[in-house]
Structure formats: C-alpha cells, structure tokens
Amino acid sequence: MHSDYKKLTRDSAVTAVPAPEYLYVPLAQHIGAPAKPLVAKGEHVRRGQLIGSTDAFVTANVHSPVSGEVVEQLRIRNPQGNYVEALKIKNDFQDELDPNLPHYAPPSELSTEELRDIIREIGLVGMGGAAFPTHVKVSPPRDKKVDTLILNAAECEPYLNADYRLLLEHPEEVVTGLRLLARAARAVWVVAAIEDNKKDVIAGLKASGIEEFARIAVLPSVYPTGAEKVLVKKTVGRQVPPSGLPLDVGVVVANVGTAYQLAVSVRTGLPLLERVVTVSGEFANPGNYLVRIGTLYQDVAGLPENYGQKDYRIVSGGPMMGFSVSALDIPVTKATSGLILLKARVFTEAGCIRCARCVDACPLGLLPYQDRGMEYCMECGLCAFVCPARRYLVQNARQYKMALRSKK
C-alpha cells in the first residue's frame, strides 16, 4: 500500500527549538545576489537587526536571529554542497530586540508600494525550497501583467508537514498574509490550491474568511502537484513555457510559509528570523519544529547516537527534491523545509534499458533517458524513482544545468 509517510509528524504541533550557543547565518540563502555584511567581528547585534544587504534588485536582506556577538565571517557549506559566506554569531540568550524595528500600519491600511517595501525590508523569500525573493515576484516588469496569485498549499512531498501545521494552527495569519500578497502583486484573482487530503485545513481557511477574496481549488493528492508549473496548469489551466516562469502567464505562486511570515512581520515588525522545519524519517525524533535561521542541522535533528555510521543518511528538504548531505555542520536557511533521516540504500547504476518509464513519469514531457530537454528539468525526481536501471537522472540534469550556467 502506498504511503507518503506524513503520518509520522502529521499530528505533531509546532514546537520551538531553543536557539543554540552559536548560529551561522549565510549571506546567500536565496536566489540572486548574495547580501554584503553590514557588521564586523566583535560587534554586538540584536535580534531582528539587519546584518546583510545589497543594492541589487534580485536579492534578500539578512537579519540576526538572536542577540549576541559577531564572532567572525567565514565560509560554510549550504545543502547544495556549495560554500557561501556566513556570519557566526555567539548567542547571549537575551533575545534583545533591535530598537530600530519598524511599526507598520494595520494590514488594511497598507498600500501596494508600502507592502512591496515591507516585503523587501523583512528579507522575505519563497519558503517552499526555491527561495526566490518575494519582492521580485510581486513587482513584475512593465511588460508582464500579473492577474492571478496562487497559494501553494499542496505540500505534496513525502514526509513534509511544515506547511500543513501552519495552515492548521495559524489559518488566520496565512489568510491575512495571502490577502497582503495579493495586494502587493495587484492580483485580480486569488486561488488557494490545496490537496484533497487536507479537509481539516480547508475548513479552517473557510472559517478564517478566505472565501471573501479567494477561491479554494481542491486538487488530487498526487506528487508533484506542488511543483509550480504543474500547479499553475492544474489550477488555472495555463501552460508555463519550458524555460519560463509563472510570471510569463500572468501568475505569481506563493508558499504557505511566505504568506504566514508576511502577516507576522506586519503585526510584530520582526523580519524573517525563523521557520518551521519537519524532522522525520526512520531514525529521527519526528516532529515539526520552529527553528532559528542559522541553527546547524546537528542542533536540530535529535540524531541517534550511531548516526555517524555509513548506514544512515540525512536529506535536506523532501526525499524527492531535497539534497542528501554528508555532514551536519550545515545551517538551517529560509528554504529549509525538512530534515529527513533515512537508512542508506546503496544501488548500483546500470545501463539504460530503453523502457521509457522515465518519459511516462515526467510531468513536463521531457526525455530523461536521452538527456534531452534537461535544461527545463524541475528536478522532481520521478524519473529516477521509476528507473529500473537506477540511473542518476536527476543528478545528471543538475550537472547539465550547472554547466549551462557556467557557460553563460
């Protein structure tokens, strides 16, 4: 019988993880230009203080998740295995707030331009995994007209329940944030796309007034419904070009965590400092945890004593689209939706047998076995999952796209 393994944490309420003694806050945890450090070694920082920024348009501000001292600027690995600049902060456990935190007007009084400025100020990004800066999404160029905003509440990846728990525990904030995002994007139509196995969430959203301004689209719970291009097609019937974005067909897609954070930031003045992370798998202490940005994986996961053995593996994100990591000195970022612990299963890659199962499974109609069209691959992992030869199809696609970017 098929299982999406969500039952392991589905009923686990979000619990805050105490911030550790040291946090490692990357200056590049988003698509676009890395932020430049605004503080130096030895400086005292406060919770919510702006510590990284740049004048580039496609970027995201970075803020201190705790109060304490900047120990050093160093290079640290991210989940993709790349080294990025980061600020190491020693927590003083006082959580002293930055006195310069803004006080925003009530949500109903904020204009489109004010909301776009706020979204940029708080460092908001897509929190489903891609980490695309949200202020860029809601500020389309003049030749692109946005008329539709879709809330991606599908969360179709196995194991993950971070979005589900936010929807269940904080539907009012998600609805408020969605309304603000729609105003920021000047969207005429708003759609909340939810899989049909989340009836309790649908009831909570309706009770929170979502139907006053948005339509709920109930979709079959089939992976990869939550992938942007698939979601746009299933929800509003528009085909995103192979090399394009939802913006090209007048659509902005927003994650549940993004909507929730915008509502919280407008109410409190606090920027994006923490996020919900699902910790699950075969050897984890399963749960949904509110974790400060910059917390190392080793300070989150509650790993078994024998984790260091070769027969264990940890995946950053979901098991289909996430990244297997070889060490735990990696910090939680704005895009970290899950930490999944799995028993390592070693497979030997064999030659392609031309069965075309990968072609049948590909939601974009690509030809993975021929490595054709891989520059358009969204890395959902279905091709590798169904391949009887255990070919490294997703890894090949990632390497191909990296090589293309290098040439450009």
Tell me, letter by letter, the H, E, C secondary structure of 163-214. Answer: HHHHHHHCHHHHHHHHHHHHHHHCCCEEEEEEECCCHHHHHHHHHCCHHHCC
How far is C-alpha 392 from the geometric centre of its chain's CA atoms? 24
Provide the pLDDT for residue 1. 36
CA distance 7 to 18: 25
Tell how strand 68-77 and strand 323-325 pair up: unpaired
Contacts of 403 (CB under 8 A, 6+ apart): none
- Which residues, 6+ apart, have CB-to-CB distance to 7 below 8 Å? none
Residues of the chain with pLDDT under 50: 1
Alpha-carbon distance 6 to 14, whole Å?
A: 15
Q: Which residues pair with 73 in a beta bridge?
A: 87
Report the distance separating Cα 191 and Cα 152, nearest Å: 9
Contact (Cβ atoms closer than 8 angstroms) between residue 85 and residue 159: no
String of b and e for 327-363 (b: at least 16 CB within 10 Å)? Answer: ebebbbbbbbbbbbbbeeeeeeeeebeeeebbbebbb
143-156 b/e (C-beta count within 10 Å ≥ 16 → b) = eeebebbbbbbbbb
To 5 degrees, how large is the angle CA 204–CA 270–CA 18? 80
CA 241 from chain centre, in angstroms, equals 23
Say what the pLDDT of residue 304 is: 61
Q: Distance between CA atoms of 23 and 254, rounded to whole angstroms?
A: 28
Judging by DSSP bridges, how do beta strands 83-91 and 148-153 pair with one another?
unpaired
Give the pLDDT score at 307: 60
pTM of the entire predicted model: 0.94
Task: Give 186's contacts (C-beta < 8 A, 6+ positions apart).
Answer: 112, 146
CATH numbers and ranges of domains, the chain: 6-101+270-343 (no CATH), 107-268 (3.40.50.11540), 357-407 (no CATH)
Judge whether 44 and 89 are in contact, CB under 8 Å.
no
